[in-house]
């Protein structure tokens, strides 16, 4: 027992003698990737009973539901957009979802949590309520009446996001929680930068929701109910398989069981393949929560012997209108939402056009029409509107497909992008243009085009890399058009500016109290405002544990590698690298001799008495000597432990 006790004492003393008693804390090594804990695991996430809106607070969402041909499943996709306060709410909710996981529920949302959302998201979504159900019979108004519930299928679900952990947030930092991965970054959940959450179909799958098959949709009336409570500012498109004569016969919205007739009516269209498309615009008043709002859609088949032809509406382009083709494109899609207002027909409609010199418009019901470039600068396109059962509009429209201008772009000595426009044919239109780079853009420049025109764009606020020129064309007898053109121009990268702060005595650094590291500091700035990473190197050792607050950096450069090599002159290199790979380094020498001080004169007994009890450093030195003595005495043979 004595031997065991002595061993534990020696071990304890050695640990105490080698661990610093004060001074900055230094990690022994980089944190390892830890995806589980002894407590809650990632797989513990449970979203039972929740809805998409419970997990993601949004300013606007768009849902697309496509029923499969067997009437037994659906592909449900959604995109939810959040900005300002709602973006902060999304980050707060997701951070709370991972309570118990490293970095979870700590008021900071990290890239680890983002990856966890993508990983466990399908499992979470699969627990959720789609809030949709089919019911047999006509004009069902009770959701408890034999509901054929639509349920999510985990294997078909994928989840993605955009800008959930914004890289350019001023408080973006390395994760501070133990157990997070080496390259983990985090931002406060209070961040209000816009974000987007996407519900998708997993690769290789066709459906992510299922229900009991509807066997006779052509013969038996049925209703689809949707609980739209808390679905604020959302759009929904429902697409059904081809069934001859299938129509939306009626609909109703009930607020806590009471009919609401002020809600916008659904819009019904039909594709050229016979698919019925129902578009809904949902707007739930937030102040009305928790009022329950239920939407009922009634489907039946109709007599097709009576069918009126499609009719042109006032929004349709007049005869002779020019439709712009971007100078670098062979095809361009027109705005589907704008084209939807050109014609009206209760069975859906599409354009059928005659080409001229290769210029043509092709169109599928419910899709965006596509203008195809011809062999000449412009060409006539004659179009009629045709409904889902082949009925043709009584008159046609004649338009021109045309290239409005040619262009050339260059980067001048002031890092401005200059775009020169040369009109082709008809002029008199106006261009409003700007530069775009990911989430960043420059101010718009709006100019009438009556001849050669130059756009001079500053690149201030943009980052190194490629640029896109975005423009909107209006007026002059042209259909309003938006386009983006990749300019093939790369903004060069300016490396960071790195400086060293010197002491009043001109020294480059200060040795810490224990003599184990040199404290150095300075300032760093990146002209493009990119995220920076800093590291130091000394005697072959290196580390990236440099503290960075705003433009000020500070590091504790450990000297043990120099001591082991017998190096007396400490030459330190600090490197700053931006997100685009541009780097700057500075190398300097710290004069350790200048930091050393003379031995203090011994004090008399009265001084010692005045100081009181010796400090922990003295007592620890005595314990270390005692430990060494015990170690030497224990070197000989010992009898076996009892």
Q: Identify whether 290 is preceded by a cis peptide bond (ω within 30 of 0).
A: yes
Element (H, E) at 407: strand 405-411
Tokens of 74: 């659906």
Q: What are phi and psi of 464, to 5 degrees?
A: -60, 140
Of 76, 255, 81, nearest to 164 by C-alpha is: 81
Alpha helices in 254-369 (DSSP H): 336-339
Owner of token pair 């990690």:
27
Tokens of 92: 């707060």
Predicted pLDDT of residue 51: 85
DSSP strand pairing (234-240 vs 60-67): parallel
Residues 210-250 have pLDDT tens digits of: 999 998 898 889 999 999 998 888 999 999 998 878 889 89
Q: Left, alpha or beta for 320 (phi > 0: left; psi -120 to 50: alpha)?
A: left
Residues 121-131 have pLDDT tens digits of: 888 888 888 99
Is this model's pTM higher than 0.95 or not? no
Tokens of 449: 């085009």
Predicted pLDDT of residue 187: 95
Of 614, 518, 612, nearest to 573 by C-alpha is: 518
Of 473, 318, 313, 479, nearest to 401 by C-alpha is: 479
Identify the burial level of 430 via C-beta atoms within 10 angstroms of its C-beta, where 0-12 means exposed, 13-18 middle and 19 or more buried.
middle
> What SS3 state is found at 314?
coil
Within 13 A of 358's CA, how many CA atoms are on the CB side?
A: 10
Residues 460-506 have pLDDT tens digits of: 888 888 999 999 999 999 999 999 999 999 888 889 999 999 876 77
Q: What residue ranges in 476-600 does DSSP mark as E strands? A: 481-491, 497-500, 510-511, 517-525, 532-538, 541-543, 546-549, 552-558, 570-578, 583-590
CA 382 to chain CA mean position, Å: 43
**Count of residues making up the chain:** 642
In angstroms, rounded to a whole number, what is the distance separating the alpha carbons of residues 187 and 87?
A: 12
Predicted pLDDT of residue 410: 95
Q: What share of the chain is helix, strand, coil (3-state, %, to 5)?
A: 15, 40, 45
Contact 532, 578 (CB under 8 A): yes
Tokens of 640: 């076996």
In angstroms, rounded to a whole number, what is the distance separating the alpha carbons of residues 225 and 79?
A: 21
Contact 274, 388 (CB under 8 A): yes
In angstroms, rounded to a whole number, what is the distance separating the alpha carbons of residues 332 and 478?
A: 15
Mean pLDDT by 10 residues, the chain (642 residues): 36 35 34 36 65 83 95 95 90 84 89 86 87 93 93 92 92 90 92 92 94 91 94 93 87 94 87 84 90 94 76 95 95 90 84 95 86 95 89 95 96 93 91 93 95 94 91 96 94 90 81 86 88 92 90 92 86 91 91 52 45 41 39 41 40
Query: Degrees (nearest 5) of the Cα angle 569, 574, 576?
Result: 170
Residue by residue, DSSP assigns 258-294 as EE---SPPPEEEE-TT--EEEEEEE---GGGTT--EE
- CA–CA distances in Å: residue 173 to residues 187, 419, 544: 7, 38, 13
3-state SS string for 219-267: CCCEEEEEECCCCCCEEEEEEECCCCCEEEEEEEEEECCEECCCCCCCE
């Amino acid at each position: 027992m004595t031997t065991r006790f002595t061993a534990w004492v020696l071990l304890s003393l050695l640990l105490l003698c080698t661990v610093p008693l004060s001074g900055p804390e230094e990690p022994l090594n980089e944190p390892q990737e830890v995806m589980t804990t002894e407590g809650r695991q990632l797989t513990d996430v449970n979203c039972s009973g929740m809805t998409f809106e419970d997990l993601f607070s949004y300013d606007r969402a768009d849902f697309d539901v496509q029923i499969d041909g067997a009437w037994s499943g659906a592909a449900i996709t959604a995109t939810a957009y959040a900005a300002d306060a709602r973006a902060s709410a999304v980050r707060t909710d997701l951070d709370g979802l991972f309570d118990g996981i490293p970095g979870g529920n700590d008021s900071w949302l990290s890239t680890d949590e983002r990856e966890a959302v993508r990983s466990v998201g399908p499992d979470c979504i699969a627990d959720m309520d789609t809030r949709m159900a089919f019911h047999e019979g006509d004009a069902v108004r009770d959701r408890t009446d034999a509901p054929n519930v639509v349920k999510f299928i985990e294997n078909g679900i994928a989840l993605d996001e955009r800008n959930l952990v914004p890289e350019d947030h001023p408080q973006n930092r390395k994760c501070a929680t133990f157990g997070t991965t080496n390259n983990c970054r985090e931002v406060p959940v209070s961040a209000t930068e816009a974000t987007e959450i996407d519900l998708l179909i997993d690769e290789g799958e066709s459906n992510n929701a299922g229900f009991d098959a509807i066997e006779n949709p052509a013969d038996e009336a049925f209703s689809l109910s949707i609980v739209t409570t808390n679905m604020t500012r959302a759009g929904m498109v429902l697409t059904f398989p081809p069934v001859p004569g299938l129509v939306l016969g009626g609909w109703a919205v009930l607020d806590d069981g009471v009919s609401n007739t002020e809600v916008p009516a659904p819009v019904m269209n039909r594709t050229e393949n016979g698919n019925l498309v129902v578009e809904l615009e949902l707007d739930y008043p937030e102040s009305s929560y928790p009022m329950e709002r239920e939407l009922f859609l009634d489907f039946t088949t109709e007599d097709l012997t009576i069918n009126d032809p499609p009719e042109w509406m006032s929004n349709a382009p007049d005869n002779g209108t020019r439709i712009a083709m971007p100078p670098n494109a062979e095809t361009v899609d027109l705005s589907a939402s704008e084209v939807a207002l050109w014609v009206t027909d209760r069975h859906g409609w599409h354009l059928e056009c005659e080409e001229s010199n290769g210029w043509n418009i092709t169109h599928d019901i419910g899709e965006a029409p596509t203008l195809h470039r011809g062999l000449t600068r412009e060409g006539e396109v004659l179009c009629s509107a045709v409904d889902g059962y082949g009925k043709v509009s009584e008159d046609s429209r004649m338009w021109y497909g045309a290239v409005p201008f040619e262009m050339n772009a260059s980067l001048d000595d002031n890092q401005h992008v200059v775009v020169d426009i040369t009109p082709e044919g008809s002029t008199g239109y106006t261009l409003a243009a700007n530069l775009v780079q990911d989430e960043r853009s420059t101010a718009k420049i709006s100019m009438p085009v009556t001849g050669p025109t130059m756009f001079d764009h500053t690149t201030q606020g943009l980052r190194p890399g490629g640029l896109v020129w975005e423009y909107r064309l209006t007026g002059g007898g042209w259909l309003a058009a938006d386009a983006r053109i990749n300019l093939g121009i790369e903004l060069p990268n300016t490396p960071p500016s790195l400086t060293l702060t010197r002491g009043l005595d001109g020294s480059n650094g200060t040795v810490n109290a224990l003599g184990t590291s040199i404290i150095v500091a300075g300032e760093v700035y990146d002209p493009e405002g990119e995220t920076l990473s800093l590291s130091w190197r000394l005697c072959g050792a290196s580390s990236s544990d440099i503290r960075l607050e705003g433009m000020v950096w500070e590091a504790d450069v450990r000297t043990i590698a120099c001591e082991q090599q017998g190096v007396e002159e400490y030459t330190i290199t600090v490197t700053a690298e931006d997100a685009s790979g541009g780097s700057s380094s500075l190398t300097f020498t710290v004069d350790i001799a200048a930091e050393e001080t003379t031995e203090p004169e011994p004090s008399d007994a009265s001084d010692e008495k005045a100081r009181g009890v010796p400090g922990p450093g003295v007592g620890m030195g005595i314990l270390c000597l005692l430990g060494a003595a015990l170690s030497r005495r224990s070197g000989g043979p010992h009898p076996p432990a009892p």
